[in-house]
Amino acid sequence: MAKPKIIIVGGGFAGLAAAKALRKTPAKVDLIDRTNHHLFQPLLYEVATSVLTPSQIATPIRSILRNHKNTTVILGEVTGVDKDQKCVFFSDADRQNVPIAYDYLVLATGASHSYFGHNEFAEYAPGLKSLADAEAARNKILQAFELAEAEEDPSRHRDLLTFILVGAGPTGVEMAGALAVFVRTTLKSDFRRIDPRSARILLVNMASRVLPSFSESLSKSAKQRLENLGVEVRLGHSVDQIDADGIVVAGERIASKTVIWTAGVAPSPAGKWLNVETDRAGRVRIQKDLTVPGHSEIFVVGDTASLDQNGKPLPGVAQVAIQQGRYAGKLIHNRVVGSPAPGPFSYFDKGTMAVVGKGFAVLQTGKVQLSGFLAWLTWAVVHLQFLATSSLRLSVFLQWVWTYVTGQRGDRLIVNHHGAEYAKAAADATIKPAFAGR
């Protein structure tokens, strides 16, 4: 009898967990991803702030699954699904909309940025979701210091050295804290015309507190810590405008060359491909066994899925994605080998953490709430443990110790992938007098 065909779309936390659970399944598994690497998104901000190199937080999916003899990894962008014909379509650099048939389908395509209807902000406030985003943010930050150093007119230094983060969830808070430490330690003696410690770091949030998903007391201590690091925190106002000259918030224009979007996320178009019910954010509504209603062969897992537990939607975090991917893989395995299905999916919450600068984090798990150095140590151990390979764990551990002790970073290179664009951006920045005046 022909082996069943299983397609997993996405090699993130959920897709990889599903592939691992299917390792011994007598089936033909295809994992399709549009990138060739599994990315550890929780440490993207450390690439953006020069602590780690891109290769320390990403691993080729092919190498992670090299011992999975039943699994083929395909580099391609999935563009649609035909539920009736049971096939997905993917495109690569060579071919468009190639169909591949499946018996079981796992969609684990994650999420991207949401600008809450203001897609025009994207041009001026890039988000932080991929390795390319993190490198672009790092380039932008480092370039701002270079432009300021090259600028003879000191009145322009303040605008060039104003960094704005829009959104004070974990990503915004972690990024603001890391940036504050970066400018006040690593960079402090590297420049002659400017003092990097004078950089202004602004964290803007629509909600009335930072880290709204944490308890009030933890969010207070995170805010206090940010302020001690010199970060200006502006709460309770959404950003009205973002353009080449900076932002407008609560009617005030703040000039800045570097605005980074750390606010909302939007799910992948999996719901549109399947033409099924989604929640308000566009995530596919799934059942307790993680399948789509009416299609017991289609599983949707991770950030692109919506499932309520105890009356509340599960959050878009790595643990939910891993546990759902593992569950979907196990359920498919059991069906293929004829074993009884596991009970309904139930998420086990191991807690949430956010790091706020060097040696400080907040941690919340059940009734336990912790802030400070111990929480930071826990954060470091947990993050090391979840990196994809032992070589990454060792490399990141050594880099962290080195950075902690010496203040030196892993990667402060401005890597210019698009020479012409850089030259134009640099020229625009130099000839635009309006930028300085606002």
Ligand X SMILES: Cc1cc2nc3c(=O)[nH]c(=O)nc-3n(C[C@H](O)[C@H](O)[C@H](O)COP(=O)(O)OP(=O)(O)OC[C@H]3O[C@@H](n4cnc5c(N)ncnc54)[C@H](O)[C@@H]3O)c2cc1C
DSSP state of 263: S
375-414 positions binding ligand X, by CB under 6 A: none
User: Which is closer to ligand X, CB of 33 or CB of 159?
Assistant: 33
- Yes or no: say if 349 and 315 are a contact pair by the CB < 8 Å rule: no
Q: Is 41 in the site for ligand X (CB under 6 A)?
A: yes
User: Which is closer to ligand X, CB of 126 or CB of 196?
Assistant: 126
Residue choice 19, 21, 44, 147 for contact with ligand X (CB under 6 A): 44
Beta strands in 338-387 (DSSP E): 352-355, 361-365, 368-372
Identify whether 174 is a catalytic site residue. yes
User: Which is closer to ligand X, CB of 147 or CB of 380?
Assistant: 380
Q: Is 398 helix (H, G, I), strand (E, B) or coil?
A: helix
Give the C-alpha separation, 257 to 338, whole Å. Answer: 59
Give the C-alpha separation, 138 to 46, whole Å. Answer: 9
Smallest separation (angstroms) from ligand X to the CB of 87: 14
User: Which is closer to ligand X, CB of 48 or CB of 199?
Assistant: 48
| x/- map, 92-131, ligand X, by CB under 6 A | ----------------xxx-----------------xx--
User: How far apart are the two ends of the chain, measured CA to CA in Å?
Assistant: 72
DSSP state of 342: P
User: Which is closer to ligand X, CB of 264 or CB of 407?
Assistant: 264
Exactly one of 149, 174, 216, 232 is catalytic; name it: 174
For residue 113, how many other CB atoms are within 10 A of its CB? 21
Two tokens at 216? 């009030």
Count of residues engaged in binding ligand X, rule: CB under 6 A: 32
Residue choice 6, 7, 8, 10 for contact with ligand X (CB under 6 A): 10
Taking the CA atoms of 139, 145, 150 and 151 in sequence, report the sign of the dihedral they define. positive
Q: Which residue stretches of 31-130 are H helix?
A: 44-48, 61-64
Give the C-alpha separation, 258 to 49, whole Å. Answer: 13
Smallest separation (angstroms) from ligand X to the CB of 318: 4
User: Which is closer to ligand X, CB of 246 or CB of 267?
Assistant: 267
Smallest separation (angstroms) from ligand X to the CB of 193: 33
Question: Whose CA is closest to 295, among 103, 127, 73, 41?
Answer: 103
157-196 positions binding ligand X, by CB under 6 A: 170-171
Q: Is 42 in the site for ligand X (CB under 6 A)?
A: yes
Smallest separation (angstroms) from ligand X to the CB of 77: 5
Q: Is 46 helix (H, G, I), strand (E, B) or coil?
A: helix
| x/- map, 331-360, ligand X, by CB under 6 A | ------------------------------
Pairing state between β 361-365 and 368-372: antiparallel
Smallest separation (angstroms) from ligand X to the CB of 153: 35
Smallest separation (angstroms) from ligand X to the CB of 37: 8
The DSSP code sequence of 127-145 is --SSHHHHHHHHHHHHHHH
Pairing state between β 162-166 and 200-205: parallel
Residue choice 6, 7, 8, 9 for contact with ligand X (CB under 6 A): 9
Q: Is 35 in the site for ligand X (CB under 6 A)?
A: yes
Q: Is 213 in the site for ligand X (CB under 6 A)?
A: no
Q: Of 29-37, 181-189, 237-245, 290-298, which segment contacts ligand X by CB under 6 A?
A: 29-37
Q: What is the arrangement of strands in the sheet containing 5-9, beginning at the earlier edge strand? A: 71-75, 28-33, 5-9, 104-107, 295-300, 291-292
Residue whose beta carbon is closest to ligand X: 12
Give the C-alpha separation, 44 to 134, whole Å. Answer: 6
The long-range contacts involving 183-191, CB below 8 angstroms and separated by at least 24 positions, are: 184/229, 184/230, 185/358, 185/407, 186/50, 186/407, 186/408, 186/409, 186/412, 187/145, 191/145, 191/148, 191/149
Smallest separation (angstroms) from ligand X to the CB of 91: 9
Residue choice 12, 60, 167, 177 for contact with ligand X (CB under 6 A): 12
User: Which is closer to ligand X, CB of 134 or CB of 255?
Assistant: 134
**Any idea of the CA torsion for 193, 198, 199, 200, to the nearest 10 degrees?**
-150
- Yes or no: say if 309 and 346 are a contact pair by the CB < 8 Å rule: yes
272-331 positions binding ligand X, by CB under 6 A: 302-303, 316-319, 321
Q: Is 222 in the site for ligand X (CB under 6 A)?
A: no
Residues with catalytic roles: 174
Contact set with ligand X (CB under 6 A): 9-15, 32-35, 41-42, 44-45, 77-78, 108-110, 128-129, 170-171, 268, 302-303, 316-319, 321
